[in-house]
Structure 1
Amino acid sequence: MNYELFKSIHNLSGHSQVLDNFMVFITNNAIYMFALALLILWIFGGKTIKRAVLYAGGTGLIALVVNVLIAQIYYEPRPFVTHHVQTLIPHVADSSFPSDHSTGAFTIAIAMWFRCKNIGIPMFILALLTGFSRIWAGLHYPFDVVGSLIVAVVVSYVIVKLSRLFDPLINWIISTYDSIFGKKNRSNKSSRT
């Protein structure tokens, strides 16, 4: 069933250069788009947004560590290793389950959604597109992406439940940042007046 689902999505590739290029762009660059979004939110956001950014980034890193542990326990060959699949981009033949790109994208989006829904929702749409693009490009099975979503939900939920443990560190990072960079901004504003 997993392979049949994979074929139904991957077989859409190769018919439109525009769509293929779009999917390759997403599969290669979505993680950088998430990183850029977090950086912009950190720079221009208030304390609440900064907290959401730190939690989203930290939760994403923890989820990727969970992926590494899963890959050590369970090895799933990639579709192009097991079957005759023409990938849109080259990739090493490491474990397919779960998808690291999808896990990172889903986890950042879900962690952000827990704290700031209006930002988390568009991020989640981009995460769905990221997972879909990984299948389209021939790099992952659909269940790899579903596995990534499950890892993202579980890790994000656990971190939310344990946030009281992390809050002192998060608050310290924000206050340290504000004490270093906030004073410069205040002194620049006061020198202009």
Structure 2
Amino acid sequence: MNYELFKSIHNLSGHSYALDNLMVFITNKAIYIFALALLILWIFGSKSMKRAVLYAGGTGVLALIVNVLIAYIYFEPRPFVTHDIQTLIPHAADSSFPSDHSTGAFTIAIAMWFRYKKIGIPLFILALLTGFSRIWAGLHYPFDVVGSLIVAIVVSYVIVKLSRLFDPIVNWIISIYDSIFDRSSRSNKSSRT
């Protein structure tokens, strides 16, 4: 069933240059879009938004560590290793399950959704496109992406439930950032007068 689903999605590739390029762009660059979004939200956001950004980024890193542990326990060959298919981009023949790109994208989106739904929803849509693009490009099976979603949900939920433990660290990081940039903005103002 996993391979049949994979074929139904991956077989859509190779028919439209524009769609293939879009999927390659998403599969290669979505992680940078997530990073840029978090950076913008950090720079221009309130203290509450900065907390959400730190939690989203930290939860994403933790979810990727979980992926590494899963890959040590269970190795799933990538579709292009097991089957005679053409990928849209080259990739190492490492473990396919779960998808790291999808896990990172889903985790950031879900972690942000727990704190700011209006931001989490568009990020989740981009995460869905990221997972879909990984299948389209021939790099992952659909269950790899579903596995990524499950990892993202579980890790995000656990971190939300344990956030009281992490709040002091998060607040400390924000206070250091604020003290550095408050000082520099004060010194800029005093040098102008």
Q: TM range, normalised to the smaller chain?
A: over 0.9
Aligned to 1:173: 173
Deviation readout 1:137-187 (Å, 9 max, x if unpaired): 000000000000000000000000000000000000000100011222244
Query: In 2, Cα distance between the equivalents of 1:50 and 1:189?
Result: 24
Deviation readout 1:25-68 (Å, 9 max, x if unpaired): 00000001101111111111110110000000000000000000
TM-score (norm 1): 0.97
Aligned to 1:109: 109
Deviation readout 1:1-43 (Å, 9 max, x if unpaired): 0000000000000000000000000000000110111111111
Q: CA shift at 1:189, angstroms? A: 4.5
**How many positions carry a matched residue from both structures?**
193
Query: In 1, Cα distance between the equivalents of 2:50 and 2:190?
Result: 24
Q: Which amino acid aligns with 1:58?
A: G
Q: 1:95-106 alignment to 2 at 5 Å?
A: 95-106=95-106
Q: 1:128-167 alignment to 2 at 5 Å?
A: 128-167=128-167
- Which blocks of at least 5 consecutive residues in structure 2 are unaligned? none
Query: In 2, Cα distance between the equivalents of 1:184 and 1:73?
Result: 49
Aligned to 1:89: 89
Query: In 2, Cα distance between the equivalents of 1:152 and 1:50?
Result: 20
Q: CA shift at 1:192, angstroms? A: 5.4
TM-score (norm 2): 0.97
Query: In 2, Cα distance between the equivalents of 1:124 and 1:190?
Result: 44
What value does the CA root-mean-square deviation take over the aligned residues? Answer: 1.1
Aligned to 1:127: 127
Q: Which amino acid aligns with 2:123?
A: M
Query: In 2, Cα distance between the equivalents of 1:188 and 1:126?
Result: 39
Aligned to 1:61: 61
Q: Which amino acid aligns with 2:94?
A: D
Query: In 2, Cα distance between the equivalents of 1:113 and 1:182?
Result: 29
Moved >3 Å (runs of 4+): 186-193
- Which blocks of at least 5 consecutive residues in structure 1 are unaligned? none
Aligned to 1:78: 78
Aligned to 1:188: 188
Query: In 1, Cα distance between the equivalents of 2:189 and 2:129?
Result: 42
